[in-house]
Structure 1
């Protein structure tokens, strides 16, 4: 406590220097003391308008930069690469977190319902539970892969229709935006093709391991297939179905439109192939129509939200301008 600090509060001074003493005779009554305590002010450093250090320092905890393994994983890891390949990245694209959350919830609820039905009716009728669980997992993976193949067939047809209906001046732009979608499809099909190609060529069985060098290359290839390609395929199938092969790069309304088309196509495939055999008729109808109806409801809600919240409608999909005569 001193003449220049009547409150006994040490001012914050990171340089360790003492503040200059007040002028001779003290501060005038109309000039507030820069370090004088104020009533009802928080201790120990009340904010002062004229003080050189009005606020206490906050501890700065710098985050450590990622290590080399983390940086390498972000660059060449199967899941980060799948995100870069299958997630839309067009500049200026509208990303609504509410819509994305609803899509994830719808996907998880639909998957849980299908798995529950499969487990209930297949395991209950099976003697060996392990075989039944394996069949359920295999059926779900096959259905997801069939959905991807159906989407790969449907997408070029939709793009062809868009090119026919779009303005002539916008067709090159549509093709440029659709190039990344086609690239994602080719990447997923090529990654899946690695597994049958490895089996058919005898690579997995070690047919090419005729010398020490080829043996090392063979086992390295097998390791990369199961450590990198398999996670890439699993993540790619999920991201491709969730983002509908990044068709938002073409237009924000493309994913809900294609998703609704895909689920009704899958419902027709299940109807004609006799899916869910052994399930009661009422339950079969519920599960065959549950996915199309729920996805259609979410898709229509997404289109409504894009139109009302972001001003994006189906008219912009064709890229027709009012002055374009085409």
Structure 2
């Protein structure tokens, strides 16, 4: 059952409660002190399932690349682990307590900023690919780009709906009477929670697929990765300053990550051209 919860389609609540925990569920219902824990699960699970199903329908979990190359994936994972290891070694060797806290802040900052930085960077990279593409390829790319645009609009709409509905519920509580405010606030909180869950479930696949623009061109994910890594390097330098350590270590830490990612991106693009016939021009 827990393996199914990792899939795109969650099982219905009846199926979830109809297995091993059916007797446990009924016993919990008969004990009032457990209702505060059990009822939110019973009421919240269908809402979360609906939000996840919609998120996965718009942003499939495995739709981030048109061409899956196991060799490329292995090299990317190896580079990522080595970069993480080097960052930890530098922090342990030269870092101060404030550097540790700053590293955590930058990690959280990247999680929050990445979707919006993608929304700004993707049109630039797509415009470059359009300029290089042949007229026949442009027609095919336009069709896929329109679908990707609709996906991005839905994500932005759900993200925007969360604070708007929250402000609406707060405003109703301030203006309407206690009885009307309570029911109206609940009516607004339900779609707000659904939108928040949709954003949570959609963000990972949306970022990996660059809001489904990966379908526009097979090389687009690699090119976007190369652009984003340099953007984050500049943002990290401006916001947090250089990494700890002597000047040579600072330079290697600051430029080594983006440079290694760029090298992997170049190799991936060349591999797409030679092995799969994917060309940036023509």
TM > 0.5 between the two? Answer: yes
Cα displacement string for residues 260-298 of structure 1 (whole angstroms, at most 9, x for unaligned residues): 112112222333x24246834545444432431232233
CA distance in 2, matches of 1:125, 1:275: 11
What does 1:8-23 align with in structure 2 at a 5 Å threshold? none
Per the alignment, residue 279 of structure 1 pairs with: 244
CA distance in 2, matches of 1:265, 1:158: 13
**Structure 1 residues 84 and 301, CA gap change in structure 2 (3 angstroms):** farther
Unmatched 5+ stretches in structure 1: 1-65, 321-326
CA distance in 1, matches of 2:135, 2:204: 35
Per the alignment, residue 85 of structure 1 pairs with: 58
Q: Which ranges of 4 or more aligned residues in structure 1 deviate by more than 6 Å?
A: 70-75, 111-123
Q: CA shift at 1:112, angstroms? A: 7.6
CA distance in 2, matches of 1:194, 1:248: 26
Unmatched 5+ stretches in structure 2: 1-9, 17-44
What does 1:99-178 align with in structure 2 at a 5 Å threshold? 99-100=72-73, 102-103=75-76, 124-125=97-98, 139-178=106-145
Per the alignment, residue 208 of structure 2 pairs with: 242
Q: Is the 8 A contact 1:178 1:250 kept in 2?
A: yes
SS of residue in 2 equivalent to 1:268: helix
Q: Is the 8 A contact 2:226 2:265 kept in 1?
A: yes
Per the alignment, residue 147 of structure 2 pairs with: 180
TM-score where L is the length of structure 1: 0.56
**Structure 1 residues 233 and 219, CA gap change in structure 2 (3 angstroms):** same
Higher alpha-carbon Rg: 1
SS of residue in 1 equivalent to 2:170: coil
Aligned length: 242
Q: CA shift at 1:188, angstroms? A: 3.0
Per the alignment, residue 232 of structure 1 pairs with: 198
What's the C-alpha RMSD, in Å, of the aligned pairs? Answer: 4.3
Choose between structure 1 and 2: higher helix proportion: 2
TM-score where L is the length of structure 2: 0.63
Q: Is the 8 A contact 2:95 2:244 kept in 1?
A: no
Q: CA shift at 1:258, angstroms? A: 1.5
